């Protein structure tokens, strides 16, 4: 019968001591590595969640037409009702005052349709269609917060008798073109804000209306114009 033979080996006389020292070094380093990397991991997770929330935050009803200056249009009984889209109102927040054209005045697609005053700054918004102004929303003039509460309903701004509705509507966004434009707008916003993305969010995890003013209190209007006045 064969027996297993055991031979005593002096571990410390071999490379074992070297291995133990290396192992001990890494065991000692591990808590410090977690301490250093933990905040980075948490920040990455927060940014990822912020981006996901950002893409689901804005509302664009598919039944409406949209201009690239972030205004909308809806055909009703031969007239076109227009206003700010959800992106614009959340970008800017509550306005202090709104300046609308006079009834009987003319607006042109892609030209200034109305102005919004926030603090001491004036922002110009583009009309999504051309035509004659037949009605203005006096409730919004009295209570500008309506465009935040219900931008596609009680927050409408003008009713316009269109000059050439078929041509104007073809120039607006809807369906697949709308989806691609929204995606591009949000991607551009994410890239534009970069590391400041977290400033959009409240403690409860929801983005803040008027977030552009929180990001750059001094020059927020310049950022807003990048999105509200499209190039070309």
Compute the mean pLDDT over every residue in the chain, rounded to the nearest whole number: 79
What pLDDT, on a 0 to 100 scale, did the predictor assign at position 216? 76
Share of the chain above pLDDT 70, in %: 69
* Per-residue pLDDT tens digits for 206-220: 567 787 777 777 888
What pLDDT, on a 0 to 100 scale, did the predictor assign at position 42? 43
Q: Quick one: average pLDDT of 62-87?
A: 96
Q: Give me the residue spans of the domains in the chain.
A: 16-57, 65-228
Please tell me the distance from the alpha carbon of residue 211 to that of residue 64, in angstroms, as a whole number.
25
What pLDDT, on a 0 to 100 scale, did the predictor assign at position 1? 38
* Per-residue pLDDT tens digits for 132-175: 999 999 999 999 999 999 999 999 999 999 999 999 999 999 99
- The arrangement of secondary structure in 65-228, i.e. its CATH architecture, is Beta Barrel (2.40)
> Residue 128 corresponds to which tokens in the numbers above?
């999504």
Residue 109 pLDDT greater than 90, yes or no: yes
Please name the residue that has the structure tokens 């291995």.
Answer: 19
* Per-residue confidence band for 61, with pLDDT thresholds at 50, 70 and 90: very high
Residue 179 pLDDT greater than 70, yes or no: yes
124 C-beta neighbours (distance < 10 Å), count: 15
Residue 5 pLDDT greater than 80, yes or no: no
* Per-residue confidence band for 7, with pLDDT thresholds at 50, 70 and 90: very low
- Least-confidence region, from 24-33, 114-123, 144-153, 173-182: 24-33
Please tell me the distance from the alpha carbon of residue 151 to that of residue 116, in angstroms, as a whole number.
14
Q: Quick one: average pLDDT of 110-138?
A: 96
What pLDDT, on a 0 to 100 scale, did the predictor assign at position 211? 77
Residue 65 pLDDT greater than 60, yes or no: yes
* Burial classification of residue 89, based on how many CB atoms lie within 10 Å of its CB (0-12 exposed, 13-18 middle, 19 or more buried): buried
What pLDDT, on a 0 to 100 scale, did the predictor assign at position 18? 52
Reduce the DSSP state of residue 86 to 3 states and report it. Answer: helix
Could you tell me the maximum CA-CA distance found in the chain, to the nearest angstrom? Answer: 114
What pLDDT, on a 0 to 100 scale, did the predictor assign at position 44? 44
pTM above 0.85, yes or no: no
């Amino acid at each position: 019968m064969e027996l297993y033979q055991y031979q005593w080996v002096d571990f410390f006389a071999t490379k074992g001591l070297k291995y133990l020292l290396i192992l001990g070094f890494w065991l000692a380093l591990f808590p410090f590595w977690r301490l250093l990397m933990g905040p980075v991991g948490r920040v990455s997770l927060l940014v990822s969640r912020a981006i996901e929330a950002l893409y689901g935050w804005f509302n664009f009803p598919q039944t409406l037409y949209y201009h690239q200056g972030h205004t909308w249009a809806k055909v009703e009984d031969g007239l076109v009702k227009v206003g700010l889209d959800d992106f614009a109102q959340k970008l800017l927040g509550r306005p202090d005052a709104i300046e609308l054209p006079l009834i009987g005045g003319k607006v042109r697609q892609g030209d200034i349709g109305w102005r919004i005053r926030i603090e001491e700054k004036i922002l110009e918004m583009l009309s999504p269609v051309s035509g004659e102004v037949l009605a203005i929303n006096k409730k919004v003039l009295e209570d500008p917060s309506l465009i935040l509460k219900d931008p596609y309903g009680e927050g409408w701004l003008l009713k316009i008798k269109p000059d050439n509705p078929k041509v104007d509507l073809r120039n607006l966004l809807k369906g697949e073109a709308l989806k691609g434009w929204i995606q591009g707008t949000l991607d551009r916003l994410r890239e534009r804000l970069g590391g400041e993305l977290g400033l959009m969010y409240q403690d409860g995890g929801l983005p803040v209306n008027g977030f552009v003013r929180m990001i750059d209190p001094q020059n927020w209007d310049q950022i807003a114009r990048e999105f509200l006045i499209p190039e070309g």
